[in-house]
Structure 1
Amino acid sequence: MSIRVTARIAIEEDELQEDFLRASGPGGQNVNKLETAVQLRFAAMASPNLPEAVKARLVTLAGRRMTKDGVLVITAQRHRTRERNREDALERLLDLLREAATPPPPPRKATKPTLGSKRRRLDSKTRRGETKRLRSGRPED
């Protein structure tokens, strides 16, 4: 079964690998005997369903979560139950993939300031200088 990321991109469930481990932090006795934390692994660089441009942006966005082998690792341990942590990890993966799938904005074209904006800037500088000059106790020139 495939998981829909965007309108054009879907990943297969068998591309995901889940490992369960003991969560750190508070949780009472459960923290010592239940493995509720989820470590979700997605081999992003080996995935045939991701375009190359998305893979390149994903490497940048993932940062330390991407291994040298191109595997994206997401660890979820916010919730007390295994099922909620699984949902959380999957949602975080999909959010990251959606962000990588959005193309970057076009580069900004440099423009010159308008004549009006130059005049407004100089007028405000003149007014500010006048205010400061009046604060000083020295006589006017």
Structure 2
Amino acid sequence: MMSDKVYERDFSGEWEITASKSGGPGGQNVNKVNTKVTLRFDVLASQRLSEAEKALIVDKLANKINNNNILIITSEAGRSQLKNKEEAIGKFYDLLKRALKVKKKRKATKPSKSAVEKRLKAKQKQSEKKQHRQNKDF
């Protein structure tokens, strides 16, 4: 499958990572240090992805891709820039893996004969119960 090898590919030359001030934990450190990390990845310009993979990613991750076909991932949960960078890269690979995963085709199934019989018997029993109520004279 396509998604099996995503973690083995090195996309480090194809993404751009920038840091900015974060709103996350860190106290006074937040006001001084750029700990928020934003990873930008140009999907269509990627050399590591096939055309079919690019189409799948653009389709499945449309809400995370802007009009210029750039996938944007941010991370500001950690107190350090390095931790946030590692988390953003992890998110990137997870998103790619989920986007490239091929869904299994659903196989149409029929209920078993015993299940059909059981359902019909239950319906008949309910019907008889209601018929019995109608025949009572008050």
TM superposition score category, shorter chain reference: 0.7 to 0.9
> TM-score, normalised on structure 2?
0.79
For the residues of structure 2 that align with 1:112 and 1:93, how far apart are their CA atoms? 40
Give 1:129 deviation, angstroms. 4.5
Q: Distance in 2 between matches of 1:130 and 1:84?
A: 68
Q: Which amino acid aligns with 1:117?
A: A
- 1:1-141 residue pairs with structure 2 within 5 A? 6-7=4-5, 10-106=9-105, 108-129=106-127, 133=130, 139=136
* Contiguous gaps of at least 5 residues in structure 2: none
| 8 Å contact kept, 2:39–2:89 | yes
| Residue type at the aligned position of 2:29 | N
Count matched residues.
134
For the structure 1 residues 82 and 124, does the alpha-carbon distance in structure 2 shift closer, same or farther, using more than 3 Å as the test? same
Q: In the aligned structure 1, how far is the partner of 2:45 from the partner of 2:68? A: 9
Q: Aligned partners of 1:111 and 1:126: how far apart in 2?
A: 25
Alpha-carbon distance in 1 for matches of 2:128, 2:83: 64
Q: Deviations over 1:98-120 (max 9, x none)?
A: 112222212x2434444333212
Name the structure with the higher helix share: 2
> Aligned with 1:92: secondary structure?
helix
Once residues 111 and 55 of structure 2 are traced to their aligned partners in structure 1, the CA distance between those partners, rounded to angstroms, is: 36
Calculate the aligned-residue CA RMSD, in Å.
2.8
Which blocks of at least 5 consecutive residues in structure 1 are unaligned? none
CA contact (8 A) 1:40 1:73 kept: yes
Q: 1:23 to 1:121 in 2, by over 3 A?
A: same
